[in-house]
């Protein structure tokens, strides 16, 4: 599932550009309501741009090869199992792809439940048995069926809006303390950009929390479509990576079923719960 990697990168760039444009055009000097409307426009705009581009960016970033006409037994099996899970979940048939990496991983992305992409790494196919791979495929279909990309995009849009808005409100209060007009203008712009970066960091903690909740739900879907034992076994397998090389580029690391992250700030910036927590949740609900 397309977690936050590309989403955050795209949104950070959009927010910074939006801040510059608003300052240059004087859009952040108007009424509070006008400022809020402009912040919402830029904030949600960045989120939906990244959502609409998610599938094409994922294909290029991971080097995924789409299976249009299965050419061997493995490709046919992947296609058939994804079709079964998609039908059981009430969504359209996703595109199916494989990307070359020794690390076991998989992801799903797309702006629409009926126009999604599910891709697996060669390492996943080589290191797991068919039952475990099937559970991973079901997990990814769960992300699509749950509408996780749209949900996270809306959450990101809301946080973007308030990052832009409150950065300017607080910056205005700080700049107002100066009696020098030139210093007010310079102080406002410098502090608004600095506060935007700070609030953006804090907002990402909220987005990451939602991402971790959605991961548990996708595990539940994987267990429901296959079995709790199969889903737990697949997650256990991910605890022993076969290579030090990342399965996905750094900017896409948050997309995969394998967390591929180093926990920071007590895990608050983690896009995925720990594998142990996910396995424990599965076993508690089985």
CB 243 within 8 A of CB 123: yes
pLDDT in tens, 91-137: 999 999 999 999 899 999 988 999 999 999 999 999 999 999 999 99
Q: Say how far apart CA 101 and CA 122 lie, in whole Å.
A: 6
pLDDT in tens, 43-98: 788 788 888 888 888 898 889 999 999 999 999 999 999 999 999 999 999 999 99
**Count helices and strands in the chain by DSSP H and E runs:** 9, 4
The CB density around residue 210, as the number of other CB atoms within 10 Å, is 18
Lowest mean pLDDT among 41-45, 170-174, 180-184: 180-184
Q: Say how far apart CA 238 and CA 235 lie, in whole Å.
A: 5
Annotated domain spans of the chain: 4-285
pLDDT in tens, 243-267: 555 555 555 555 566 554 455 566 7
pLDDT of residue 16: 59
286 burial via Cβ count (<10 Å: 0-12, 13-18, 19+) = exposed
pLDDT of residue 275: 92
- Give the whole-number percent of the chain exceeding pLDDT 90: 41
With 50 as the cut, is the pLDDT of residue 4 above it? no
Residues marked as catalytic: 140
Residue 199: CB partners within 8 Å, gap ≥ 6?
162, 163, 166, 167
| pLDDT band for position 237 (cuts 50, 70, 90) | very high
């Amino acid at each position: 599932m397309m977690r936050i990697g590309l989403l955050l990168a795209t949104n950070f760039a959009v927010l910074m550009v939006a801040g510059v444009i608003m300052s240059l055009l004087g859009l952040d000097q108007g009424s509070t309501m006008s400022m809020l409307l402009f912040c919402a426009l830029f904030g949600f705009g960045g989120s939906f741009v990244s959502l609409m581009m998610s599938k094409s960016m994922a294909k290029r970033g991971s080097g995924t090869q789409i299976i249009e006409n299965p050419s061997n037994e493995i490709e046919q099996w992947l296609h058939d199992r994804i079709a079964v899970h998609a039908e059981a979940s009430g969504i359209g048939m996703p595109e199916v792809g494989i990307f070359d990496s020794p690390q076991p991983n998989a992801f799903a992305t797309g702006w629409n439940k009926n126009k999604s992409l599910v891709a697996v790494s060669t390492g996943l196919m080589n290191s797991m048995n068919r039952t475990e791979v099937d559970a991973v495929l079901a997990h990814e279909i769960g992300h699509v069926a749950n509408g996780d990309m749209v949900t996270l995009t809306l959450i990101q849009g809301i946080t973007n809006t308030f990052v832009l808005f409150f950065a300017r409100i607080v910056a205005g209060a700080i700049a107002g303390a100066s009696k020098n007009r030139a210093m007010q203008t310079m102080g406002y712009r410098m502090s608004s950009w600095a506060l935007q970066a700070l609030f953006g960091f804090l907002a990402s903690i909220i987005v990451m929390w939602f991402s971790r909740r959605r991961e548990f739900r996708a595990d539940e879907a994987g267990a429901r479509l296959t079995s709790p034992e199969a889903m737990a076994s697949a997650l256990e397998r991910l605890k022993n990576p076969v290579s030090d090389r990342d399965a996905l580029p750094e900017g896409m690391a948050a997309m995969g079923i394998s967390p591929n992250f180093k926990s920071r700030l007590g895990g608050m910036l983690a896009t995925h719960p720990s594998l142990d927590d996910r396995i424990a949740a599965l076993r508690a609900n089985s």
